[in-house]
Amino acid sequence: MGIRVTRYPDTRKYVSLVNRMPSDVATLGMEIRAEIIRRTQNGLDKNNRSFKKYSPDYKKAKAQEFGSARPNLTRTQAMLNGMDMRKIKGGFRIDFPNKMENKKAFYNQRVRPFFGLDKEQRKKVLQFLKNKFNKV
């Protein structure tokens, strides 16, 4: 008999429990979505580090157009506002259902990774699950 150590807990056995908490799960999903947007607009990636700087040409054009050349992925706000959260079996899903905004997000994710849970968000999700499962 051995011990298996994993980085993240296997929550598959708790799917039916999570499915019985739709309002709590939806609330958590909306909070995570809002935190991703807030963090991104503050110029921080998914690891809470500053975004990679813009190229000199883009930086100059952006500064002239918007008055700021600090990367925050919000040129028109359309991409981040296009981020959607919906409840799915076993949890929630945050994605970009609009094809154009999905393309923008995909490109930005490769250059300046913004989409994902930072360390604090992962702790928040695990604490949420722990609190719910301890009540059962």
- Residue 93 sits at the vertex; the CA angle it makes with 83 and 23, to the nearest 5 degrees, is 105
Question: With b meaning 16 or more CB within 10 Å and e meaning fewer, what string describes 56-82?
Answer: eeeeeebeeeeeebebbbbeeeebbeb
The residue type at 118: D
Domain boundaries, the chain: 17-135
CA-wise closest residue to 50 among 69, 72, 35: 72
- In this prediction, the residues of the chain whose per-residue pLDDT falls under 70 are 1-22, 63-69, 90, 133, 135-136
How many angstroms separate the CA atoms of 119 and 6, rounded? 17
pLDDT of residue 1: 44
pLDDT of residue 60: 76
pLDDT of residue 61: 74
Per-residue tokens: 115: 């989409």
Pairing of strands 91-95, 84-88: antiparallel
Contact between 25 and 15 (Cβ < 8 Å): no
The β-bridge partners of 91 are: 88
pLDDT of residue 59: 76
pLDDT of residue 57: 80
pTM: 0.70
pLDDT of residue 24: 77
